Chains A and B, each alone.
Chain A
Amino acid sequence: MSYTLQFGQVLPYLGYLAGGALLSLQIAFLAFCGGLVIGTGGAAVKTFGPWPLRRAVDVYVGFFVNTPQLVQIYFLYFALPDAGVLLSSYQAVLIGMTLNAGAYLTEIQRAGFLSRRQAEMEAAEVLGFARWQQVRYVILPHIARVLFPSLANQYILMTLGTSMAAVFGVEELTGRAFNVNAQTFRSIEIFSLSAGLYVVITFAATIILALFGRFAFRAKMRIV
């Protein structure tokens, strides 16, 4: 059976797909923000907290890092109803991605906490900086510069990770690709186009974040 590529049939859907791409970026962003909050808490506990709490964070991180995000979301979506918690697919995806991100970001931010330099803090203290001033002017800028590349990279990875939301019917980029595929059956074309869109949005995001990192934090960022 011969199959001729007919991109003409799928190009009209480009706008529809682009809308899905925006949703992918949005879901990733929300999950990233939530994960950042969890990660800050987790990193703080791991750096300063008592032994039992540190253990608990280790268990959390270990579990989410060593199991697939897809199955985590399956669990949230299908198993939680047994306990009376009903989540929509969007909610399950978002919560799953947030918890997942929280685990990775705990590790990333812990590295950031560890990079605080004793000498700088002592200098600031001796110069009469109040605690909050030490944090604002000395600690945070340094940590932000150290962390920004890893955080930016994590966000890009999460944008790619939103793809599995399609399994649950969420209409982000891959989900919409499935829809168009069901309508036109131009599978190769539609998925190639989607792949292309993912490459484009991740490239764009990488460049934008790299430029932002360089200007805002003087972070060492590769543009590609």
Chain B
Amino acid sequence: MMWDHLVAEAPRFFTYWNLRFLVLAGLTTLALSFTGCILGGAAGLAFASVRLTRSAPLGPVRVIATLYIEIFRRVPFLVTLMLVFFAFQLAGIELPLFVIGAISVFLIASAFLAEIIRGGMLAVHRNQWDAAETMNFTLIQALRHVVLPQAWRVILPPAFGFFVLFIKDTALASQIGVVELTYAGKVLNNRGFSATLSFGSILVLYFMMSFPLTRLGAYLEARLAPARNPRA
């Protein structure tokens, strides 16, 4: 029966070398998502801030920011990955595959995070913005001293959800040859190990990475949402 095959295979599969290989690939997955997320968060903050400006000269910049966000939220990660991959290849620039993967994660992360950051900033009551404006705060000063300290509570919980999303998206980086977790699973399968154990174990590893983050996001949602709300 199938179970017997699996049980027989298990000792061959769960060797130190294989596990080490999987763990390193898992770390690559985390590194890809983390880099893309942090840089994407910074860019997302910039995009969100730009969209809040009102001066005429910045009009074109606002349009570009909005277009960027709307486009990269609506293109599947695989297509974004291919575009980045071929763009660098055809421009003759040699980059490590990891970097190409990270850039792709950065592109979609910045678009998605820009939206939730903007949502968080707009959730801060209008009267906080008014007070800052009448006291001659510049936009950056208002964001830094008044808006972001209040907005982060609305931004952080969904941000965790997105981090999990990006971890899952990195699975597609296997298609360009980045040695992350999914690629590792394919390698093991090609080496002769059963697909059940190969893909099964990476499913478990993905779960172990994502589940704590999902729970943390849910916990933060519950704790931060009712807290210090601006009095209406």
A67-B203 contact, Cβ under 8 Å, with A78-B189, A79-B196, A195-B75: yes
CA distance A130 to B198 in the complex (A): 54
Q: How large is the interface on A (under 10, 10 to 19, 20 to 34, 35 or more residues)?
A: 35 or more
A74-B211 contact, Cβ under 8 Å, with A79-B199, A198-B76: no
- Complex interface: chain A residues within 8 A of B71 (CB): 195, 199
Contact A82 B79 (CB under 8 A): no
Which of A58-66, A119-127, A131-139 sits within the interface? A58-66
A75-B171 contact, Cβ under 8 Å, with A67-B206, A187-B86, A188-B87: no
- Max chain A C-beta neighbours (<10 A), residue from B70, B92, B171, B211: B171
Counting CB contacts under 8 A, is A34 at the interface? Answer: no
Counting CB contacts under 8 A, is B74 at the interface? Answer: yes
Which of A141-149, A162-170, A212-220 sits within the interface? A162-170
CA distance A72 to B200 in the complex (A): 9
1/0 per residue B126-163: CB within 8 Å of A?
A: 00000000000000000000000000000000000000
Contact B90 A160 (CB under 8 A): no
Contact A69 B168 (CB under 8 A): yes
1/0 per residue B75-92: CB within 8 Å of A?
A: 111111011001101111
Q: Which of B167-225 contact A (CB under 8 A)?
A: 167-172, 174-175, 182, 185-186, 189, 194-196, 198-200, 202-203, 206-207, 210-211, 214
- Number of CB contacts from chain A to chain B under 8 A: 122
CA distance A75 to B89 in the complex (A): 31
1/0 per residue B112-132: CB within 8 Å of A?
A: 000000000000000000000
CA distance A128 to B179 in the complex (A): 64
Contact B182 A70 (CB under 8 A): yes
A161-B199 contact, Cβ under 8 Å, with A82-B5, A187-B90: no
Contact A67 B168 (CB under 8 A): yes
Closest beta carbon of chain B to A105's beta carbon, Å: 16
Contact A164 B91 (CB under 8 A): no
A83-B2 contact, Cβ under 8 Å, with A74-B182, A198-B75: yes
CA distance A224 to B83 in the complex (A): 25
Q: Which of A45-70 contact B (CB under 8 A)?
A: 62-63, 65-70
Q: Which of B25-73 contact A (CB under 8 A)?
A: 70-71
Residues of B within 8 A of A (CB): 2, 5, 70-71, 74-80, 82-83, 86-87, 89-92, 164, 167-172, 174-175, 182, 185-186, 189, 194-196, 198-200, 202-203, 206-207, 210-211, 214
Q: List 9 A-B contacts (CB under 8 A).
A: A62-B214, A71-B199, A71-B203, A78-B189, A82-B2, A160-B74, A163-B77, A187-B86, A194-B79
Question: Considering the complex of A and B, which 7 residue pairs feature the smallest CB-CB distances, nearest first?
Answer: A163-B76, A78-B195, A187-B86, A68-B171, A66-B210, A79-B195, A68-B168
